[in-house]
Amino acid sequence: MTWILICAIFVVGLWGITHQANMVKKVMGLSIANSAIILLFVYYGSLSGTTAPIEGSGDPMVDPLPQALMLTAIVVAVCVMSLALVIVYRLYQRFGTLDIRGVERGAWKLND
């Protein structure tokens, strides 16, 4: 049941990327899709055991590697989102709109 919720979150993010014309909403959709992927890895990584990975515990431990990799993925995602928002801001300054179609029209006018 959990993976269905994670897939639904990913689909919402993918919808935001593909069906929104506003560039800020596209960046938000990318962030939502990235969060769903991180949730998927953490969820499936937690299925390998029952307790926290602390030495001395007799119970089967959860594999800490997926969690460590997802911490790295979170840091990379924050950097990508901040860079994307800076690019969106610069495009807004240049073309005066957040609509991707308006930016494309403005870019074609610059080339003519």
> How does pLDDT run across 34-55, given as a tens digit for each residue?
999 999 999 988 888 777 777 7
Contact 107, 31 (CB under 8 A): no
Look up residue 83 and give its amino acid: L
What's the pTM? 0.85
Q: In this predicted structure, what is the pLDDT of residue 57? A: 64
* Domains and their CATH numbers in the chain: 2-111 (1.10.287.3510)
Q: In this predicted structure, what is the pLDDT of residue 111? A: 65
Q: In this predicted structure, what is the pLDDT of residue 63? A: 81
- Tokens matching residue 70: 């997802």
